[in-house]
Chain A
């Protein structure tokens, strides 16, 4: 049997543990192990992507217990795509980490990053809702700690808010899972999807309450109005590679929403079909509106980028709420784009901060940058992408989404997205021109030039965004097939519940 599907979980776990066991002083070794593992992870996930592109589903029954009794990992097009996205992001972020940690070994940082990957990958793969909770906790705890890397009051405060809110969120998650179990008697998502169809009308509101509670929890992770307020400070205060890595975190929330509400509460869920949609749609639009206001309001570049992350979340969820194949396909395209580009922006902002000395990333006049042209050009590319100007990925994603909307939804989505684009354009042109052009004097003497590996990381992420344009058709073909798979959850259900395990010798 193939164990490939478990490797995205196993590899980061073992790497994290191994990194902790290595002697702290072996700096180079630690970096090498960490990067090699990230590279290997990329290989595995790409392989999984290819495999998912070919087959429908693949199920891995942990402990050889047949679903729904044991925990299963399920590979489908969605999980494969998310895995590949994560691994690329992780590789470049770790590359940046390795380049930037300098004399410090970064042992903890690397280990925690791999644990974060463990959590994220696990969340993407698992087919069990409680196991999803466990992986959420793994990724959250790692992220708490990663966020605090480097110390300082801003991080401490942001961290405190982030942690407390998410701990409360975890509590709510458990309550929701418990209610679902208490009424359906199962934890396996596929099984639950089947049992939810049989929930009586009298009990349906209870399940719906649990579903909304779950939505709230995922919304907290994904940073939806009114639950995103913790995010800007948190992301802005994180160190660059961490912030870059965090670009995937909100997407985990989005993923969970897609997965749970299409599979368990999808169109076939009887009384409970589409239970999340009436909430999701307005919240997504409000998220866009208020986060764009945040983008305009930002006084610091990193805060602005953080708000851009939220804008992208709002856009994605709006796409999810459209609840159609075309919209979902567009959403996933946009998800790839926004994750890579936001990550690149965070890395870039870090280099800007380094070269601006005490002006840091304030959107106000400051010293000229040592590599103004280079960084400026990179910023331009990233900004063009994220604003959604042609010819880069954001534009395509945006068009796809706009095309997917119909009826009244189209009116709302079009006006909000287009006005939002304009506002973001205004804001980014303001911050970009201020930071790169409104410079007071000479460059700072001690401003460090961006290192080779740092630039590689930024280049790499932007290049992935560009690749999304060049190979647009291929990507869209995949996301289209993916959307089809997601909108027809019966395939998933059959694959999981029909999975048979190998006979054990002692039985």
Chain B
């Protein structure tokens, strides 16, 4: 048994920054706090603000790179698209699950990846899993392709290109251009 040298260990540790190391995260944290306490009062707004500073500060070394949302508009549209697809996906799925299973034509298909960022890949893989009839089952070790299991496929190539166009492209736009 050989153990590959995990590349992630080589990631440089960033020196600690005191002031808002992750601005996006901080906003996210602040909103989260208000969601959690389920009330908006002056006290909680302040406390949330404090935590929005404290937690990113404490956990910054766990975040290898700072995420920057390049195109909030695209991101918003992408989220709506995914939500819609989830609903559709489930309707289709329900039919397939309850219908005759013998007619299903499952398949493993390989989706070559253009995006390289782990975060973006994760988003893509998750999206694929949540949407119609597909579950991302594996990621190649060099992060060049995603193995997707499809519940029912008529034409594999079409499915692949559809996925790439519908989900990968916007993600690429959001994170990498």
- Verify whether A and B have any Cβ pair under 8 Å: no
Residues of B within 8 A of A (CB): none
